[in-house]
Amino acid sequence: MMNSGRDILHQTQSLCPVCLALVEARHVVENDSVFLEKTCEAHGVFKARLWEGRRSYENWIRPKLPIQQRFNMTPVDKGCPFDCGLCPEHRQHTCTAVLEITQNCNFSCRFCFAGAGPGNIPDPTLETITELLAKVHKVSPDANLQISGGEPSIRQDLPFIVARAVEIGFGFVQLNTNGFLLARDPDLAPRLKAAGLDSVFLQFDGVTDAVYENLRGRPLIEDKQRAVEVCVENNIGVILVPTLVPGVNIDQIGQILQFGLDHAPGIRGVHFQPVSYFGRHGEVPKDDSRITIPEVLKEIEVQTQGQFKENQFRPSSCEHALCSFNGKFIIGDDGRPSAVTTFNTCCCKPVQAEQGSKQARDSVAEHWKAPLKSIAPAMPAKKEDDMDKFIRQARTRMFSVSGMAFQDAWNLDLERLKGCCIHSVALDGRLIPFCAYNLTRADGKGLYRKS
């Protein structure tokens, strides 16, 4: 419908970024840009840029059928997002459980979800972590696990924590890290591999020291390269994770992808994270300080000279469509990517959240760990045909390109939040959607993080 010369595309709910009060919100389109707009009676009108291109927005949206049965650890009392645990209003399983084993870090980055830095905050004990792992596995036995922080590698007992997770039964264990100690400590990667680590989610913001000096406060490209090398040497899958910040590293999207291709199949892919403004960020976001998913996809195609194309990426079948994108590619013998995925703009059939959750978990567990070793066929009776070649390359040379647009207090959409499948583990064992767990209001005070 029309309203004062603007189209309202969707009605939803959000929170006031100043006081975190529940407010009504809407997706509105102006000059072909889609915004989330909301009004707080106490603090006024807020508007955040959400998407570029009305047609792109309408084509990208996918209806989703919520799961029918799922565990609940907390009752509905105040309503979303104040009852997380998960409560009965949540519509999706836990695909990835994020367990923070420390609030301390050896960096003090310009942007940090956890607001972590050098300090002496007491870490949870190995016994406490074991109890948390057991609680999560009991309610979400199929979930993938990401060990995070702070910087988890600063804990001396990290290999024991990885081993404990494997013993409890997690089928895929990943480490979220800045990679500094992996690069500097030659014994760390072998110990983590021996403990059962499958994958490293490596902070990787660019290919020049200038980017790291801006975002992380020090030159780091040599350490990043070395961290990749030691992981590959020890058969640990590597996912590069750039935080995309306008004016800092958007122009390096293509170079990051090329770095990934040059080090494939040891590097399993790239997972872009457009900057979101919660935790430590240091500014109230403006429209030009955000980059939206369609803008990222456009930059990918332009900066790679069409090696990756916009229409080769699609919305997730697991979380809300506006939250993410993904594409799968096979690296050919010539080193160039060939798309496995395509985007069908005509497919508006509702997606079963249950099915999407399983697909997402299985895809991450299969494609983000180290690849199977390529085995040359031993004098085949017939020449390898196209199907044989495809199967061989799919098993050994798959490359993932994806991205996640996390929500902050300015652009939070509770409908999206209810479909979240990435859940942080609170110290009492509750599972809280990642964006709710990390949400901070304008003055830095958190909704769930109390530090």
Does residue 5 surpass a pLDDT of 70? no
Asked if 168 and 24 sit in the same domain, the reply is: no
Q: Which of 35, 60, 85 is the last residue of a domain?
A: 60
- Cα–Cα distance, 239 to 371 (Å, whole number): 12
Asked if 45 and 106 sit in the same domain, the reply is: no
Instruction: Let me know if residue 443 belongs to a domain.
Output: no
Considering just the CA atoms, what is the radius of gyration of the chain in Å? 21
Contact 162, 129 (CB under 8 A): no
Sign of CA dihedral 355, 359, 362, 364: negative
- Cα–Cα distance, 320 to 36 (Å, whole number): 15
Contact 169, 119 (CB under 8 A): no
Asked if 348 and 296 sit in the same domain, the reply is: yes
Instruction: Tell me the per-residue pLDDT of 106-141, one tens digit each, with 9 for 90 and over.
Output: 998 988 888 888 888 999 999 999 999 999 999 999
Asked if 52 and 95 sit in the same domain, the reply is: no
In sequence order, the β-bridge partners of residue 425 are: 431
Token reading at 36: 């989330």
DSSP helix/strand/coil, 422: strand
Lowest-confidence range among 122-131, 136-145, 166-175, 364-373?
A: 364-373
Lowest-confidence range among 26-30, 95-99, 187-191, 373-377?
A: 373-377
Asked if 25 and 127 sit in the same domain, the reply is: no
Show the domain range for 12. 2-60
Residue 197 maps to which CATH number?
3.20.20.70
Q: Which of 186, 174, 282, 191 is nearest to 237 (CA)?
A: 174
User: How large is the average pLDDT for residues 280-307?
Assistant: 93
Instruction: Let me know if residue 340 belongs to a domain.
Output: yes
Q: Which of 273, 244, 263 is nearest to 399 (CA)?
A: 263
| Domain count of the fold of the chain | 2
Lowest-confidence range among 19-33, 37-51, 354-368?
A: 354-368
Asked if 392 and 306 sit in the same domain, the reply is: yes
Asked if 123 and 140 sit in the same domain, the reply is: yes
Asked if 332 and 393 sit in the same domain, the reply is: yes
Q: Would you place residue 370 in the very low, low, confident or very high pLDDT band (cuts 50, 70, 90)?
A: very high
Tell me the pLDDT of the chain averaged across its residues. 91
Instruction: Let me know if residue 445 belongs to a domain.
Output: no
Asked if 52 and 150 sit in the same domain, the reply is: no
Asked if 215 and 259 sit in the same domain, the reply is: yes
User: How large is the average pLDDT for residues 7-24?
Assistant: 97
Q: Which of 15, 30, 60 is the last residue of a domain?
A: 60
- Cα–Cα distance, 325 to 333 (Å, whole number): 26
Q: Which of 60, 91, 107 is the last residue of a domain?
A: 60
Asked if 278 and 155 sit in the same domain, the reply is: yes
Does residue 378 surpass a pLDDT of 60? no
Instruction: Tell me the per-residue pLDDT of 255-277, one tens digit each, with 9 for 90 and over.
Output: 999 999 999 999 999 999 999 99
